Structure 1
């Protein structure tokens, strides 16, 4: 395999993740202005934040099955165009119901994206390189937003919140064309060529037996619960964080964009540190239990420090604890490596879908829960909730995941939960 091809594919993935998260989080930048323009309450804004995850979560398992069956080169541009069109329409709506519908559409079409990313890395990179590869593309959600938060704030300042959505969507459509013409499957030499035999072997038809297995294995539930808890911290930063800075800490639009970028930068360094250190430990002969679990467990422990922001007043101190917590979230964000390491080879897409389905439920529950918790303008209970869940996730990796090794396929001896 040509090393240059591998890293070119990784660059394509990185940019795709940046665009993916831009279209998820532009709503948080625009939230205050949408609420003022459409006369929405904090609870109604919580529903809008949550709406993305209703369909994003519901489509994870079907989306994972699609990923196992459809060529990446075709699938990725299709979903990119679809969610980008839904993003553009958000800039045209005039009611709560229409905004909720658009967010549901974005969530539905983004659902297969991360199982697709994981499938690409599994096919292109050897096991000893996967944590680094996952760290690089995952870092796109952090470094992209660290740079994009101020830029999105400026775009909104110039073109309004409606223009923000329209410009974001047009960028996604342009990138879909780039992806189709630039990406190749492993072993594919030209546009008309067939998949290599090895890749064809990895395509899997939907199976209820496989679904039942993916939803009853104890080891898999360990990483699913961890993903839910990790996602709870992430979804706070992707939705309510700018509002927390603007309304609870009293910053204006441009200052919010600047201060919001700092924790995302910390998370970027966290995920890169985690990925490259994890692979380095594997190459040095350390076990997967130590090399893969340690960054995730330490990261979730650090994420719990978000609670400390409740007990300081200066923006420097608040930013320090929020950045430390998000750095921890970045450290733990290589947890996708567990999907490629423990899932049966023919079920990587399905297990990735289940993993992201449970994780996506955090984006259903957390925005609405925070909306209720902050009705009186006090964000302290919200930060207690986020920090507590991070510690639950740490316990899940400590006590449920066990040995980090590929699980036997259905029909062989497996450890399952009672159902």
Structure 2
């Protein structure tokens, strides 16, 4: 029995309305995910004062999250496909919430290190599981808006964490802030048990052979096109997240207050463009445009605009750099709207978990290499021009990866040779 009709008719609306509570909870989960992963960076100055933590120790603690998070992306999708996205979402959310609460009780460097590793384990579930759920329940013409919201929630989580958690720590101390945020987060779990969507497949996507093996995914050109494009998208995002505040303060001489307003405004622009792009591509598909054309055009425009804007930032004057950054935020939001939508369509409901796990694992290597490379370039040259130029080249590579590496946006036939 087909859960969704094959066209974008009004008969979709009851099913879409029924899925909305699940969609809202997924967006909230991503938002909480990004609040929790960023809290330690806000507490770092306090740890340095109270514990005498060195910069090297803080660096280890901040990076430890990515050790388990990135490594487990390569296997978490397998668990999601095998044991169910709803169950893994529950376990992962519980694990990362408990890690947040226990961080408030940690008494030393070793305990914090273990808890950061546990946080990475729990949060590694988020994107394989959410993509599995969207692939199971949403038709192609509704995935753009949904994935645009997911992408926007990442930005909202970072912004809310910076301001909300920062104020809590300033008033009540970092321990109380971690405990309070973790306890409040646990309220998501009863709501998830009440409103999660059932795990069902569309009949056309079922296969007696089960989900494909990792080797079958890795043999597909479309996977490497999507993974390469996702890496380039993440390089852009991690570059901006890591270095934008420093760039605004040290190269453009903004005050900390002005920097916060400028950076926050850019993330708002990014998130809004992501939602708008997802919505527009869905409308185009409902009106007869092929998913390949609609989503690839968004990728091409977004990545090209972001790359051109980064070049502009490298040579911008005091009067033009902010306009270049705004254009970059528009391009970033436009480009990132379809990152997981591509994966959900290419993999199909059966393989969405492990495909997204593999793709996201490769993409997150950008978080390991990008910020460090940019820092080296800034130290070497004394300014940001080279770092912006490298980011522009990699970003432009993303446009080619999505548009040429992925030939046609449709579910891959894992049984046929490449």
Q: Tell me the TM-score normalised to structure 1 length.
A: 0.83
Distance 2:367 2:197 in 1: 32
CA contact under 8 A between 2:135 and 2:349: conserved in structure 1?
no
1:307 Cα deviation (Å)? Answer: 4.1
Q: Could you list the runs of 5+ residues in structure 2 that have no partner in the other structure?
A: 1-13
CA contact (8 A) 1:152 1:164 kept: yes
Does residue 354 of structure 2 align to residue 341 of structure 1? Answer: no
- Equivalent-residue separation in structure 1 for 2:209 and 2:54 (angstroms): 44
- 8 Å Cα contact 1:150/1:257 also seen in 2: no
Give the unaligned 5+ runs of structure 1: 187-195
User: Over aligned residue pairs, what C-alpha RMSD do you find?
Assistant: 3.2
Instruction: Give the Cα separation in 2 of the matches to 1:35 and 1:244.
Output: 24
Q: 1:78, 1:176 within 8 Å by CA — same for their partners in 2?
A: no
TM score, norm. by length of structure 2? 0.83
Equivalences for residues 3-152 of structure 1 within 5 A: 3-30=16-43, 38=52, 40-41=54-55, 47-91=60-104, 99-152=112-165
| Per-residue deviation, residues 219-256 of structure 1 (Å, max 9, x unmatched) | 11000000011011222344444444455555565544
Partner of 1:330: 333
Quick one: structure 1 residues 88 and 247, their matched pair in 2 at CA, closer, same or farther if it must change by over 3 Å?
farther
Contact 1:69 1:204 in 2 (8 A): no
For residues 95 and 77 of structure 1, what CA distance do their matches in structure 2 show? Answer: 29
Residues of 2 paired with 1:381 and 1:369: CA distance?
Answer: 10
CA apart distance, 1:398 = 2.9
Deviation of residue 177 (structure 1)?
Answer: 3.2
- Pairing 1:12-411 to 2, within 5 Å after superposition: 12-30=25-43, 38=52, 40-41=54-55, 47-91=60-104, 99-185=112-198, 210-246=213-249, 249=252, 254-304=257-307, 305-312=309-316, 314=318, 317-333=320-336, 334-374=338-378, 378-410=383-415
Distance apart, 1:103 and its partner CA = 3.1
Structure-2 separation of matches of 1:205 and 1:58: 27
- Structure 1 23/255 Cα, relative in aligned 2: closer, same or farther at 3 Å? farther
Alpha carbons of structure 1 residues 133 and 344: separation in structure 2 relative to 1, 3 Å = closer
- The question of whether the paired residues in 2 share the 8 Å contact of 1:370 and 1:382 is answered with yes
Quote the offset at 1:173 in angstroms: 2.2
2:135·2:345 contact (CA, 8 Å) conserved in 1?
A: no
Instruction: Give the Cα–Cα distance (whole angstroms) in 1 for the partners of residues 135 and 74 of structure 2.
Output: 18
Q: In structure 1, the residue corresponding to 2:213 is in which secondary structure? A: helix
Shift of 1:184: 3.6
Aligned pairs, how many? 400
Q: CA deviation at 1:119?
A: 1.2
Query: CA 1:197/1:296 → structure 2, altered by over 3 Å: closer, same or farther?
Result: closer
How many angstroms does 1:402 deviate by? 1.0
Q: Secondary structure at the match of 1:343?
A: helix
